[in-house]
Amino acid sequence: MKSGVVSVNGVGISTTKRRWRGFVIAVLGLVFLSMLVPLVFLIGFHHAFHSSPSSSGSGFPSQQQTSLQDDRAVGAYESHHYSNYNTMDPERVGKQDLGTSFHIGINGSITKGHPENHVDKNVQKASPERYNVNINSPMALNQGDESEVLCELRFGSYCLWRREYKVAIIDSMVKKLKDRLFVARAYFPSIAKLPAHEKLSKELKQNIQDFERMLTEATTDAELPPHVENKLLKMEAAIAKAKSIPVNCNNVDKKFRQLVDLTEDEANFHTKQSAFLYKLAVHTMPKSLHCLSMRLTVAHFQNPSVGLDDSVTEKFVDPDMYHYVMFSNNVLASSVAINSTVLHAKESKKLVFHVLTDRQNFFAMKLWFIRNTFKKASIQVLNFEDYNTIPGLSLSEEFRVTYQVAKLPKMHYKTNYISLFSHSHYFLPEIFKTLDKIVVLDDDVIVQQDLSALWRLNMGKMVNGAAEFCAVRLGQLDNYLGNINFNRTSCAWMSGLNVINLTSWRKLNLSEKFQTMVQEFRREGRLLEAAASRASLLTFQDLVYALDETWVRSGLGHEYGLDVQSFKNSAVLHYSGNMKPWLELGIPKYKSLWLKFINREDQFLSDCNVIP
């Protein structure tokens, strides 16, 4: 046995060789199985790939389906300062105007971040006249409405406007050509590496060049050359042949992913560019209104206007009159607001309007209100820069706020605008020293009822009679507002229609309180406009008299879904939001309410093509 040989019937058998032979057979079997399993998988994957529709190449998971899930950053840091608009760099807008958001959680904590969850230093230095505050930022949304919801939260009313003006695709042939070109480009690199299919490679290359030439010269179906259907059939036949040839699936997959990435980058670029152009359109004075202001200014100096008589001048300081104050640099908008107020007033002779504007529009405003009469109401135009050491006039500032609707299920969000007093409004007690009570109107409002009841309101010790917006409480903005003591349960208040008790304002010295807070915020590195906006939220804390809901209906410059019949009983309609009624981007079904108060007979309006 030591020799390893056993004799059986005279025949010697080696037990050592027998053991090795069995071991070798087992190893070879394992190797064969290890190669067979991946081979079966690759053959199945190959057949699954070639069974995908020829029009889309959808056998691969699309990155476009997951791009919105990866981009959870919502909201936009909007600003009125567009000094570099002429560069037309949408990537800069994507990093600045669309880059910073304030996410407010359920516990009221605020985190400031970029869509990629990091802070962009360039954004922090931007001048914030408009802000975006996202309350209960969505973490998970249904796939069906995810695109629209995220788009609205990220780009604001641009998405609402885009949805309203969405049109059906009419150039279907161009779309089909682009789709086939996409698939052919994905297959061509793999086919070109196969020497046995040189003819098919040349055919694919020729078809790709033909399609590229056609799509370079044509953007609509009407611009396509004749016999385009024949070229489409040739391309589809070449693609079918390419799909029938076994190729390296990894190469095709990689090429498809490269093309998808390029397409996503291009789509993202155009989305940012369109949002940028939308912001430019809504924040820029229309050419027709600029023409109106310039023509009125020239006409004023060509024919000096006649001065007011003493009886009218006395009304400007008479505390028994109904005094309305308006900050505006828009001739047409201020005229519409005043005209609508006067037409619904029972005693127009008691109405006095004080329009404060900047030096650039002062003479245009002055001539306009001399040329146009508004029943028996008196109108005074003031150059605000005569009362203010800071150059320029700042109008009411708006915050775009996104919040979760409490009465609806989770993940139902609503976007609204909160408008606040600007730095200029805190000079009112100094400008109107003889008056005890005034009503402040924004120039983006129209009046539908008599407002004389506002002068009989008993506000007690309150200073500011305003519409409150209790969907957002100041406690949810504590980190945003700074380390200052304030009532966390107070509602945010809205400008647009405000009854101001100047006597109480002076006693409480609110203007100095406002300036102190502005200086504190500026020491933190914030610009004047940003500091003024934060201070406005805090100056009137516990001093706001909540007006009844029937007084003001806001949101006509942002919300498409409002029922016109529902706010016919509202005394004042406020076009808060980006889509003002004097813009082409204004919401059409609300613009008719605003347009009916324009004096269409004025020659300057016709010359500048103001009336649509």
> Tell me, what CATH number does 550's domain have?
3.90.550.10
Q: Tens digit of pLDDT for each residue in 201-218?
A: 999 999 999 999 988 888
CB 99 within 8 A of CB 124: no
Predicted confidence band of residue 188 (pLDDT cuts 50, 70, 90): confident
What does DSSP say about strands 101-104 and 110-113: parallel, antiparallel, or unpaired?
antiparallel
| pLDDT per residue as tens digits for the range 337-353 | 999 999 999 999 999 99
Domains contained in the chain, number: 2
**Which of 368, 271, 280, 273 has the alpha carbon at shortest distance from 329?**
368
Residue whose token pair is 């906006």: 533
Tell me the percentage of the chain whose pLDDT exceeds 70: 70
The span from the CA of 562 to the CA of 593, in Å, is 13
pLDDT of residue 345: 95
Residue 2 has pLDDT above 70, yes or no: no
The pLDDT of 570-582, averaged and rounded, is 93
Q: Residue 39: which domain range?
A: 5-50
Determine the Cα–Cα distance for residues 485 and 375; give it in Å rounded to an integer.
48
Sheet holding 437-441, edge to edge: 378-383, 351-357, 322-327, 437-441, 491-501, 464-473, 544-546
Burial of residue 486 (CB within 10 Å: 0-12, 13-18, 19+) is: middle
pLDDT single digits (tens) 63-77: 333 333 333 322 333
> Which amino acid would we find at residue 199?
K
What band does 3 get if pLDDT is binned at 50, 70 and 90?
A: very low
User: CA dist 184 to 181, 231, 291, Å?
Assistant: 5, 13, 53
Whether 63 is in a domain gets the answer no
Burial 220-230 (b: 16+ CB within 10 A, else e): eeeebeeebee
Q: What is the pLDDT of residues 110-168, one digit of tens each?
A: 333 333 333 333 333 333 334 455 444 443 333 345 566 667 666 767 777 777 777 67
565 within domain boundaries: yes
Cβ atoms within 10 Å, residue 172 = 10
For the segment 9-53, what is each residue's pLDDT rounded down to a tens digit?
444 444 555 566 666 777 777 766 667 666 655 555 444 444 443
Q: Which of 488, 467, 465 lies closest to 476 in space, CA to CA?
A: 488
Residue 141 has a CB neighbour count (10 Å cut-off) of 19
pTM reported for the whole predicted model: 0.67
Distance in angstroms (rounded) separating the CA atoms of residues 19 and 14: 9
Q: Does 277 map to a domain?
A: no
Report yes or no: 400 and 533 within 8 Å, Cβ to Cβ.
no
Q: What is the pLDDT of residue 86?
A: 36
Structure confidence by residue, pLDDT tens digits, 234-245:
999 999 998 888
Is the pLDDT assigned to residue 493 strictly greater than 60?
Answer: yes
Predicted confidence at residue 537, as pLDDT, reads 84
pLDDT of residue 499: 97
Question: Do the domain assignments include residue 360?
Answer: yes
Residue 373 covered by a domain:
yes
Considering only 126-140, 155-169, 186-200, 254-268, which range has the smallest mean pLDDT?
Answer: 126-140
Q: Are 252 and 187 in contact (CB under 8 A)?
A: yes
Tokens 């309007």 identify what position? 353
Distance CA 399, CA 108 (A): 18
**Is 95 a member of any domain?**
no
Domain end residue (candidates: 50, 65, 87): 50
222 found inside a domain: no
The answer as to whether 442 is a domain residue is: yes
Could you tell me how many residues make up the chain? 612
